[in-house]
Every structure is written in structure tokens, then in C-alpha cells.
Amino acid sequence: MTPLLIAQIGLTLFVFVMLLSSAAVMVYMERKVAAALQQRIGPSLVGPKGLLQPLADIIKLMFKEELRPAASDWIIFALAPMIAATCAFAAFAVVPFGADTTLFGLVPEGLRLQVADVNVAILVVFAIASMGVYGIVLAGWSSNSKYSLLGGLRSSAQMISYELSYGLALASVLLIANSLSLTDIVNRQAGTWWQVIPRWYVFLQPLGFVIYMIAGIAETNRAPFDFPEAEQELVAGYHTEYSSMRFAMFFMAEYINMVTVAAVATDLYLGGWHGPFLPESLGWIWFLVKVGAILFFYVWMRWTLPRYRYDQLMSFGWKVLLPLAVVNLLVTAAGVLYFGL
């Protein structure tokens, strides 16, 4: 049991706990930002400035009764939230969030801040995201209720449609970076041009960044693409019949998927943990700042834009976003060939 092995096991547990608490922090931030955008105060009673509100929410969810429709298929009914939550956590396992750190000299070889350093990391994230569709479609079907089935089918059709543009945006970054490993991609974004502009890929691929963010929002079923789970439309879509901890798992899976999309966007386009004024080993602070900015953008979008109707959503994904993503890929390929990046 070398110190490195112990540190890696500790890192895995740390990432797990951090993802759980990020879901809680997101709940609070969402409600506070929504309140600010709607000119009210938001949670302020539970704890100082309402900071213990997520704790109250979790305790309430834990004490609710676990309901299950009698005509539902109980094996799949219980399995669906597990699949959703597992895929949400697993996708973050290959995302690096900091440079090698020696933990104040305890680990002399340098601990990579990434649970699993795979050299096909981008593809693994994509693969696990495409497995997340199953949690939703199985939840919708196994509830044996019309609203759930419709919501589940629509939601999964939306997710697999936007996966195409997501993958093409990833492929464009891959063309420039020449590597599938997220750590390599981040390290290529170190440094600056002319001492002022950092070498982030968002400056080389602005359209790609926009496409990635839109596809990411659609993949995680967030507004304005949240028709399948909108309260006014389908009661609650695929998680209508779920209560208590199973509902909490879906809820948590959605927020953790958002965090993963934001983290991958930071790694691919915003330079990961590189930033001015701080040494490399404290780069994770910059990472947190960037991910926080993207998550704020997510919440801002939800409470500002009206939601798309389902057919508008699907036609946007196939007729606008996919051709744009293909054009982006072609222009990137032409640029790489011409400029020899």
C-alpha cells in the first residue's frame, strides 16, 4: 500500500463526496439565483441566509413514503433511478480537475487529480452520457402511466438527437488537440498568446463552444429544453410516479450531469485549471471558478428563457444544430490543414 495508492483511493472517495455536496450546493444556488432574477429573496429562513435549505430538503425527501404504482414493473422501476445516478457519477470519473499535486509532500510521485486517467477520456464521457438515456426511458416505461411514458420517450428521443451535435463538437476539439485524453487537452491550453489572451480553445472554436453548451443543456434536460419534465405540460414527465429517495436520485443525477457537462466544457474549451496569478498546484481553484461560472449560466438560462415546444426542440436539434456542428467540423478541419495547428 504505497502512499500513492492510498491517496488515489482517498481521491475517489473525495470526488464522490464532492459530487454529492455539489448537488446540494446547486439546489441552493438555483433557488437563490432564481429569486434574484425574479426580484425576491429566496430561501432565507433555514439557517443563516438560508444556507441549510438543501439539508432541510434532503431530510424531507428521506422521510417521505416510498410509493410504487401497483401495476408497475417493480424490478425496472427500482433499477431506473439507479442507472441514472450511476451514470451521472461515473461520467465524472475521467474528468481531471487539477494538475498533479504532491499533497504537501506526502505523495512524492505526484497525484493526478483525476479518478481514472484513460487515454480515450472524451469517448468515455460520451459513452456514459449515452448510457444515461436508459435511466429515463426505463423510468418512463416502468411507471405504467401515460404521462410517464410520454415524458420518458420524448426525453430520451431528445437526448439521443442532441448527442450527435455533442459528439461533433467533441470531434472538432479533438481535431485541434490531437488527443483523446482530457489531461492532454487541458495541458495544451496552457500559456498565452501575446502575453494577454490565454490559449483556450474557446477562442479557436467559438461556434463549437456554443454548440457544445446548447447540446449539453439539451442532454441534461434543462430549460429551455425541459419540455419532457415541465410541470405545466406532463405533470412531471418520467419521474411522475417516483417519490422519496428514488426521486432524490433522479434529482441528484440531473444536477451531477450538469456539473459533469460544465466540468468537461471547462476542460475542453476554457483551459481547465490554468489561470494567471496562481501556481499550477492550486489550479483547482481556477477550475472551480470556471465551473461555477458555467453553472451560473445554466441557472440563468433556465429562469430567463421560455421553454421550447417539443417539435420545435427536435427540429432545432436536427435542422439547425446538427448542420452547424458539421460545418464547424469542416471549417476546423480546413483550418487545421491550412494553418498546421
Partner 1 sequence: MKDPIEETMPETVLFYIFGAFAVVASLLVIAQRNPVYSVLLLIASFGALSGLYVLLDAPFVAVIQIIVYAGAIMVLFLFVVMLLNAPQEDTEHDLKVHPLLRRGPLRFGAVLAAALVVELVWALTKGGGESGPFAGGAVASVAAIGRSLFQEYSFQFEVTSILILVAMVGAVVLASREVLERRGGGSGPSGDR
**Exposed/middle/buried for residue 214 (C-beta within 10 Å: 0-12, 13-18, 19+):** buried
Select 56 or 123, whichever has its Cβ closest to partner 1: 123
Strands (E) in the chain, as ranges, are 192-193, 197-198
Count of CB atoms situated within 10 Å of the CB of 180: 17
Looking at the DSSP bridge assignments, the partners of residue 197 are: 193
149: contact with partner 1 by CB under 8 A? yes
Select 55 or 153, whichever has its Cβ closest to partner 1: 153
330: contact with partner 1 by CB under 8 A? no
Judged by CB under 8 A, which stretch of 3-11, 52-60, 148-156, 195-203 contacts partner 1? 148-156
Nearest approach in angstroms of CB 105 to partner 1 is 28
77: contact with partner 1 by CB under 8 A? no
Contact 135, 253 (CB under 8 A): yes
The binder of partner 1 chosen from 92, 141, 209, 247 (CB under 8 A): 141
230: contact with partner 1 by CB under 8 A? no
- Whether the bond into 43 is cis, omega within 30 of 0: no
Select 17 or 127, whichever has its Cβ closest to partner 1: 127
Cell 498565452 locates to 192
Residue 133, amino acid = V
118: contact with partner 1 by CB under 8 A? yes
119: contact with partner 1 by CB under 8 A? yes
Contact 317, 161 (CB under 8 A): yes
Q: What are phi and psi of 71, to 5 degrees?
A: -90, 10
123: contact with partner 1 by CB under 8 A? yes
Cell 484513460 locates to 118
Length of the chain: 341
Instruction: Using CB under 8 A, count the residues that bind partner 1.
Output: 24
The binder of partner 1 chosen from 8, 72, 130, 244 (CB under 8 A): 130
Cell 422521510 locates to 63
76: contact with partner 1 by CB under 8 A? yes
Query: Do the bridges between strand 192-193 and strand 197-198 make them parallel or antiparallel, or are there none, so unpaired?
Result: antiparallel
288: contact with partner 1 by CB under 8 A? no
* DSSP secondary structure of 6-43: HHHHHHHHHHHHHHHHHHHHHHHHHHHHHHHHTTS--S
Looking at the DSSP bridge assignments, the partners of residue 101 are: 111
175: contact with partner 1 by CB under 8 A? no
Please report, for the chain, how many H helices and E strands are present, in that order: 13, 2
Nearest approach in angstroms of CB 128 to partner 1 is 8
Among 129, 88, 137, smallest CA distance to 238 is for 137
133: contact with partner 1 by CB under 8 A? yes
91: contact with partner 1 by CB under 8 A? no
The binder of partner 1 chosen from 53, 156, 240, 257 (CB under 8 A): 156
134: contact with partner 1 by CB under 8 A? yes
Select 126 or 250, whichever has its Cβ closest to partner 1: 126
126: contact with partner 1 by CB under 8 A? yes
Summarize as ranges the residues that interact with partner 1 (CB under 8 A): 73, 76, 118-120, 123-124, 126-128, 130-131, 133-134, 137-138, 141, 149, 153, 156-157, 160, 178, 180
